[in-house]
Amino acid sequence: MGDKTALIVVDVQNDFLPPSGSLAVPGGREVIPVIQKLLKRDWDVVVASQDYHPPDHISFASNHPGGEVFSQVQKMDAYGNTYTQTLWPDHCVVGTDGVEIDAELRPELERLGDSCVLVRKGWHPGVEAYSAFAGYVTPSGSPSDPPPALPAADSSELASFLRARGVDRVVVVGLAGDYCVSATAVSAAEHGFKTAVLLSGTRSISDEKASECWENLREKGGETIENEGALEGWLR
């Protein structure tokens, strides 16, 4: 890998934003000005991820008769893995307004042209996917439909994409810290990227759970950075 840095903006989508998102993260809108400021920097690559669910997604409580939102059930995914699934309200469904990236951020991402790509995750009805490293990469200006078949369980299109562009460091921001942001950051570290989460650019559903996630990230070799001033030192 070369000496390049990517900014990964995780799931700043309408359904995760107050006041009307179906799975709104408390204080979620507070990340938007931080991310807008970050996008003015000269990143080598910018990645914006989207939860991108079909209506029959395995994570939706509405697809489990008798299942209550935020309860947990044992499921087998399309790869044959048995795991504990948290049941969520329907969110980020393809074709709805909730799946769209926030309207304040979209123009900032679009002006980056080819240096910005989308990663869409959770697109298969039978697979939960919190990490952007489990999604498919597509141009931000002309996004493609999901692939016709699941990729290999141990593959990562995003990791391959970043390596091909010489990226060796990633900074992760977005929503929610205790789910998709931390999962993305842990994946990045596990794939060998020097990884940092900018805490001022993320908000979580549960701060207690987020603290556990950040400790896990540090155990994997990643870092957390409090604010943009500290980020300057990390990027040098």
Residues labelled catalytic:
11, 121, 180
| Placement of tokens 């931000």 in the chain | 140
User: Exposure string (b/e) for 23-42, b if CB count within 10 Å is 16 or more?
Assistant: bbbeebbebbebbeebbeee
164 C-beta neighbours (distance < 10 Å), count:
9
Q: Are 142 and 134 in contact (CB under 8 A)?
A: no
For 58, the token pair is 């395995």
> Which are the contacts of 227, defined by CB distance < 8 A and separation ≥ 6?
198, 199, 200
